[in-house]
Amino acid sequence: MGAPRRVLVALAGLFLTFALPACREQPPAPPDAGGAAAVVDAGPPQPVALEITVTGEPPDGGAPFEVPLSDGARPEVPQLQKLTVTTNLPLKDFRLRIFDEADRAMVSDDTSELIPDAGIRYQVVFPEPLKAGYRYALVMDAQTGPAMTDVAGNEHPDLRREFKIAGEREKPAPPPKQKRHRRR
């Protein structure tokens, strides 16, 4: 009986040698949803549409007001001397200009700053208030390339939004009379 006992002790030793490492703590298995889970790739992130917000400030330093610009409409806004354009995306390769009704670029002092985790704040300050009764257009377009781009490389179409300053159109001052010189 000594031999079978040695065989049992040897088998028990083999069992402990191979079975105990298998009993180590394993990470829990994820819950089973009942079927094979398929990984779906959504593809590259979809580009976000460019949105702009425009606010104006009157020449007397009053409270800023929103300039409701939309495609095709020409709203009337109070007289202003400063425009602030804010975008929801940080843009590159763009320019912003204000044109008068003769399609001439207006003289202005412009500044631009990047808003962290958002877009751009672009301020346009005119040397004189915009004239009552006249139409103007805000134009954002590409400065050097074929289209405006954001920092992710997405292209955005150029935009042109028109507005009119409320009030009666100012009549231009008559030119000064020239004195005639008589010949002697």
In eight-state DSSP terms, residue 30 is P
| CA–CA gap between residue 82 and residue 56 (Å, rounded) | 6
Structure confidence by residue, pLDDT tens digits, 54-63: 999 999 888 9
Residue among 60, 66, 50 at smallest CA distance from 156: 50
Taking the alpha carbons at both ends of the chain, their separation in whole angstroms is: 157
Fold of 52-165: Immunoglobulin-like (2.60.40)
Task: Tell me which of 45 and 155 has the higher pLDDT.
Answer: 155
pLDDT at 82 exceeding the cut of 80: yes
Rounded to an integer, the average pLDDT of 28-48 is 58
What CA–CA distance (Å, rounded) separates 6 from 14?
A: 12
Domain residue extents for the chain: 52-165
- What's the pTM? 0.67
Name, of 39-48, 51-60, 65-74, the range with top average pLDDT.
51-60
- Distance CA(112)–CA(121), nearest Å, equals 6
| CB 133 within 8 Å of CB 164 | yes
Dist CA 56 CA 80 (whole Å): 6
Amino acid symbol at 184: R
- Token pair 């001397």 is found at 81
- The answer on pLDDT for 182 being more than 80 is no
Average pLDDT, the chain: 81
- Sign, CA dihedral 97-100-101-102, equals negative
- Residue-wise pLDDT for 106-149, tens only, equals 999 999 998 887 899 999 999 999 999 999 999 999 988 888 99
Please enumerate in sequence order all residues whose Cβ is within 8 A of that of 45, keeping only pairs 6 or more positions apart, or say none. none
Higher per-residue confidence, 60 vs 105: 105
